[in-house]
Amino acid sequence: MAEDLDALVRRVDPDRWLSSRFVADAAARADLITLYALDHELTRIPLIVSNPLMGEIRLTWWREGLEEIAEGKPVRSHPVLRAVAGGALPPTALAALAEARLGDLDGPKTGEAALAHADATECLLMALAARRLSDKATADQVKQAARAVALARTDGPLALSALKAARAELKGLPVAAFPAVAHATLAGRYARNKNPGELEKRARILWAVLTGRVG
């Protein structure tokens, strides 16, 4: 199961997958892959449904499935949910992520609305990843990096501003948690309408991990 999810994330989310390679602990790395696979399932829903109501029904299915795990109920038949049940991620927080992804059904957002949605989704996801790698990591330490990732392809100036602010925030992030945010170093390229190839991605993420800096 874990190998299947790893292959999925490598295909659909190569940036986060590359960052996860720097997690030495196999169980923690598997949990990050589970987290990213879950977010893929949630974020693709607006792209495959014919109307917002159908999207809401699908997202509700995920939220309820995660809440059932938190309540100790039988796990629904989906590899991501089974991986959540067998790992160390907090299902209640994952259910909150599924709830927050309802905002994706409303279409693109700008300004303060875009920042608020990024905080409810990407920041929560990145904070969960960082916390899984270090119990000393906090959401405030990754907030700006998460905003940069969330907005890089939709609002370049806002993303670049967040990336600049992230450099100061990340100084307080425990070293062990840095693989949860290393892929944010690519946000600057996307915000400038660049599309780095795999070799450049690997080099930039490696540099970020080695230096503890993004952008």
Give 182-200 pLDDT, tens digit per residue: 999 999 999 999 999 999 9
Q: Could you give the CA distance from residue 33 to residue 39 in angstroms, rounded to a whole number?
A: 10
pLDDT given for residue 88 in this prediction = 98
Residue 1 has pLDDT above 70, yes or no: no
Show me where the domains of the chain are located: 1-107, 109-215
Instruction: Give residue 12's identity as a one-letter amino acid code.
Output: V
Mean pLDDT of 152-177: 96
pLDDT given for residue 135 in this prediction = 96
| Percent of the chain at pLDDT exceeding 70 | 99
Among the listed residues 59, 65, 20, the one whose alpha carbon sits nearest the alpha carbon of residue 182: 20
| pTM assigned to the model | 0.95
Mean pLDDT of 167-180: 96
Q: Could you give the CA distance from residue 143 to residue 141 in angstroms, rounded to a whole number?
A: 6
| Percent of the chain at pLDDT exceeding 90 | 95
Residue 26 has pLDDT above 80, yes or no: yes
54, 113 Cβ separation under 8 angstroms? no
pLDDT given for residue 174 in this prediction = 97
74: left (phi over 0), alpha (psi -120 to 50) or beta: beta
> Which tens digits make up the pLDDT trace of 37-63?
999 999 999 999 999 999 999 999 999
List of residues 6+ apart from 179 with CB closer than 8 A: 19, 20, 21, 22, 23, 32, 133, 209
Mean pLDDT over each residue of the chain, to the nearest integer: 96
Confidence band, pLDDT 50/70/90 cuts, at residue 142: very high
Confidence band, pLDDT 50/70/90 cuts, at residue 3: low
> Which tens digits make up the pLDDT trace of 63-109?
999 999 999 999 999 999 999 999 999 999 999 999 999 999 998 88
